[in-house]
Amino acid sequence: MNTNANTQASNAHLTTPTRLTGAEILWATLVGEGVTEVFGYPGGAILPVYDALRKFPIRHILVRHEQGAAHMADGYARASGKVGVAIATSGPGATNLVTGIANAMLDSIPMVCITGQVSSKVLGTDAFQEVDITGITLPVTKHNFLVTHPEDIASAVRQAFQIAKSGRPGPVLVDITKDAQQASALFDFAAAKPQPYRPHPMLHVGDSDVAQAAELIRNAKRPVILAGHGVIQSNAMEPLRTLAERAQIPVALTLLGLGAFPASHSLNLGMMGMHGEAWVNHAIQEADLLIACGMRFDDRVIGTAATYATKAKKIHIEVDPAEINKNIKVDIALIGDLTEVLEQLLPRIPGREGSGWLKALDAIKGGCAVRDIKNLPDSGHLYAAHVMHDLWRITGGNAVVATDVGQHQMWEAQYFHHEHPRSLITSGGLGTMGFALPAAIGAKVACPEKEVWVIAGDGGFQMTSPELSTIAQEHLKVNIAIINNGFLGMVRQWQEFFYDRNYESTPMVSPDFVKLAEAHGIPGLTVRSRAEVEAAVNAARSASGAFLLNFMVEKEDSVYPMIPAGSALHEMIRRPGKNPLVERADDE
Amino acid sequence: MLHTFVAYVEDRPGVLTRVASLFRRLNINIISLTVGRSERAGLSRMTVVCDASAEAGNRIRASLFKLENVVDVDDIAQAPAVTRELALIKVAATKHTRSAIFELVEVFRARIVDLTAESLMIEMTGVESKIEGLIQVLNESDSQILEICRSGKMTMRRGHHTSRVLRALGTAAEESDAPAIESAEAALEEGASIEPE
């Protein structure tokens, strides 16, 4: 394996046109695009590519299932901001990528997937392991290519990178026939440079719109900033913070926006939406101005459109024109790169006094704002919230956390406070169970110096648990926390609330996760009480390699508050009775 | 309501699927779709008519632009435009029943393009309502319609809105060998005549 190779020296051969095979052209183009790591799985139709790998300074991480490769490339991209690359063979290899591609599409993650394809001579004949992957992935990619000639590989791949990272980022797939990999062509990296990126023709930030937006902001009595994933993608953390601080506007975050604004900041309200804190959603419903920054008014965030923030004027700053007025009708749309728009807006925003509204919000919060486990009676019984809180406290909030999908994902969002962008890696749009483990592997490969944690439920973890072998083979220091409640917890919660507690097919028997980890050469511990958490987390952190913690938590705990799908944002279900991890009873 | 989009797309395999797939994904029914070569080399021109809510127009246009192979999209909406459809209609007719159909064809300014002992074929170009009218009259007469083939709508804005202007505005793909137009205004003046229908 060629790791840490000096890419500059190895780029030298890119400057002069050379005759190479299609497979070599692919790798050389990837090197030219700055790729140093790829995630993949070989197979018949991609073999020429794998055969040529040893000549190039690229580290290949062998996955155990192609879905893992796509999620790893995705996690790699989320952690680093670079384009992630996944490679698979034709047929089942390619179809196994699809979930991961759709996941990246829904969360706008820059990713390039390379698939092998049967020879162009037999395309369309139902050849062995032939599948129309460009057809299959058409609705879940930003764009895709079928390449049948070696001379087209470099330009297709270079275009793929440009498309993946430009505008609103997203996944791009390049399907390369085996004969195109085998045949030779003249490789000229520079000549394969794509046309300059054409910004979406409907981007529009009108001067008068900016002026109007500024005026709305200046005059607002109860403004709220809604910050989403776009803040991180556009690297707009600083201008966003300037806007919030200068105009004294509180900031509510989407799930994918967590980390875009420091959790400890006094203006940070917290996460909005279905499992957002009560006061955040109340603030949105009471607001007279919403400034939406790089978010798309997802249905998990708005409750219902008709009842959403009816008192508020809405300013939408967004890079994708197709998102404007899609779910929520807005008053002013500033369609462009968030950083650029904020920089245009900021000079028109004078310092502003916001204390009245902020005080009112503090009053709404009441004691509930101190949703701190320290204030809660500790019976010794283990709740998932304990685990999240302790992980946050012990890691100082500095870890990169990859979460799966379900209850633990929401508890993580509620109790692990993210100070920095790219510190939470989670599947928001598609809600893909099995995402956490491979995504964490991708994050660790991208950022080897960072502490990386997987937080997954017992259900989701089993969807991609074979990637434990990948961790072992690649000697990756990834810490794994399984929140084990013996149920598909979030589905069970919906059954409890909306299906008369008919727990159909949600109780789940799992393997002994510690033994499973040990079978992969990864040590582990099972944690059953609150008192054991700290020592266990420290054991995992101080272990030289990967470590698995199996947290046996309360089985029938639910995530509160919760806005039932189709209800208004203020119609939330609150935690009933005297459960030990309540929001306070007087929080009304 | 009915929306009409005119799109310039790259003339290569799979592009039609991408456009059609977009409408499918948005759960919007395409009422008619015509594709053919355009005045620009390598680009096809599509006219897509679909039924969607009034607010959907902007989003459809924005989504079409997001397709890599789509170069230009125009939402014709209520703009002054010429819309035409071509229909071929085969009608059962013997030498005894032909003359009545000839009269109809005359009234509708259509043409007979094929004639056999048992049938004849009518070619008609016009707005949709005119074609519907001929079909209705044929149905109400004793004539039996055997086949109908309709092209779907083709639409072109009246007056100044041409790709040459789009180019001058800088919104179209660059074509270096095309004659340069000084400014958009000049082009607007040049082609601003509006012909009444």
pLDDT at A2: 42
Of B17, B58, B65, the CB nearest to A325: B58
A-B contacts (CB, under 8 Å): 40
The residue among A126, A133, A177, A186 whose CA lies nearest residue A155 is: A186
Give the pair of three-digit tokens for residue A85: 């690359």
Check residue A84 and give its pLDDT: 98
Structure tokens at A270: 């917290």
Q: Which residues of A touch B65 (CB under 8 A)?
A: 200-202, 321
Q: Are A86 and A40 in contact (CB under 8 A)?
A: yes
Length of chain B: 197
Alpha-carbon distance of A511 to B183, in angstroms, equals 72
Peptide bond preceding A350 in cis form (omega within 30 of 0): no
Distance (Å, whole) CA A101 – CA A109: 9
For residue B130, the model assigns a pLDDT of 94
Q: If you compute the radius of gyration of chain A from its CA atoms, what whole number of angstroms results?
A: 25
Q: Which domains does chain A have, with CATH numbers?
A: 7-187 (3.40.50.970), 207-367 (3.40.50.1220), 384-552 (3.40.50.970)
User: What DSSP state is assigned to residue A192?
Assistant: T
Per-residue pLDDT at B173: 42
In this prediction, residue A566 carries a pLDDT of: 86
Q: For residue B51, what is the enclosing H or E element?
A: strand B43-51
* Per-residue confidence (pLDDT) for residue A210, from 0 to 100: 97
Q: Which residues of A touch B61 (CB under 8 A)?
A: 202
CATH 3.30.70.260 domain range(s) in chain B? 1-78
Segments in chain A below pLDDT 50: 1-9, 370, 584-588
If you count them, how many residues does chain A have? 588
Looking at residue B78, its pLDDT comes to: 79
Q: Which of A135, A146, A322 sits opposite B62 (nearest CB)?
A: A322
What confidence score (pLDDT) does residue B168 get? Answer: 54
Closest CA to B6 of B28, B35, B29: B35
- Three-state SS string over A19-39 comes to EEEHHHHHHHHHHHCCCCEEE
Instruction: Tell me which residues of A are annotated as active site.
Output: 66, 128-129, 178, 490
CB atoms B66 and A201 under 8 Å: no
Confidence bin at B129 (pLDDT 50/70/90): very high
What is the H or E stretch that residue A95 is in?
helix A92-106
More confident residue, A536 or B55: A536
DSSP bridge pairs for B88: B123, B149
What is the nearest CA distance from A273 to chain B, expressed in angstroms? 24
Nearest CA in chain B to A163: B68
Chain A CA closest to residue B26: A139
Determine, for residues A324 and B17 on separate chains, whether the beta-carbon distance falls below 8 Å.
no
Query: Does residue B59 sit at the A interface (CB-CB below 8 Å)?
Result: yes
Which of B21, B59, B73 has its CB closest to that of A139? Answer: B21
B130 membership: H or E segment, kind and range: helix B128-140
Where do we find the tokens 């002069």? A16
Alpha-carbon distance of B12 to A130, in angstroms, equals 22
Whether the CB-CB separation of B119 and B92 falls below 8 Å is answered with yes
Interface test with B, best of A326, A328, A330, A335 (most B CBs within 10 A): A326
Query: Which of these, A107, A168, A81, lies nearest to A421 by C-alpha position?
Result: A81
pLDDT digit string, tens, across residues A286-301: 999 999 999 999 999 9
pLDDT of B182 above 50 = no
Under the banding of pLDDT at 50, 70 and 90, the label for residue B158 is confident
Cα B143 from Cα A384, distance rounded (Å) = 77
Token pair belonging to B140: 């109400």
pLDDT for A354: 80
Q: Are the C-beta atoms of residues A562 and A587 closer than 8 Å to each other?
A: no
A575–chain B nearest CA distance, Å: 38
For residue A394, the one-letter residue type is I
- How far apart, in whole angstroms, are the C-alpha atoms of residue A85 and residue A160? 11
Are B62 and A325 within 8 A, CB to CB? no
Longest dimension (CA), chain A: 74
The answer, yes or no, to whether residue B194 has pLDDT greater than 70, is: no
Given a contact cutoff of 8 angstroms between Cβ atoms, the answer to whether A296 and A238 are in contact is no
Identify the band that residue B193 occupies on the pLDDT scale cut at 50, 70 and 90: very low
C-alpha–C-alpha distance, residues A146 and A132, integer Å: 10
The yes or no reply on domain B82-150 and CATH 3.30.70.1150 is yes
* C-alpha distance from B169 to closest chain A C-alpha (Å): 11
Q: What is the pLDDT of residue A585?
A: 41
**If you ran DSSP here, which 8-state letter would residue A255 be given?**
G
pLDDT confidence of residue A502: 97
Where do you find CATH 3.30.70.1150 in chain B?
82-150
Q: Across the interface, do B171 and A201 touch by the CB < 8 Å criterion? A: yes
**Domain at B1-78, CATH class:** alpha beta
Find, among B25, B36, B4, B21, the residue nearest to B151 by Cα.
B36
Nearest CA distance, A83 vs chain B (angstrom): 19
Q: Using CB atoms, which residue from B18, B62, B67 is nearest to A321? A: B62
Position B175 confidence tier, pLDDT thresholds 50, 70, 90:
very low
- Residues of A in Cβ contact (< 8 Å) with B73: 201
Collapsing DSSP to helix, strand or coil, A281 comes out as: helix
Q: Which of B22, B26, B59, B66 to mutate to test the interface with A (most CBs of A within 10 A)?
A: B66
Q: Give how far B51 is from chain A: nearest CA, Å.
A: 17
Whole-number average pLDDT of chain A: 93
Percent of chain B with pLDDT over 90: 72
Each as own residue / partner, the long-range contacts of residues B161-167 (CB below 8 Å, 24 or more positions apart, any chain) are B161/B74, B161/B79, B162/B191, B163/B8, B163/B38, B163/B39, B163/B40, B163/B72, B165/B191, B166/B72
Q: Does B18 touch chain A (CB under 8 A)?
A: yes
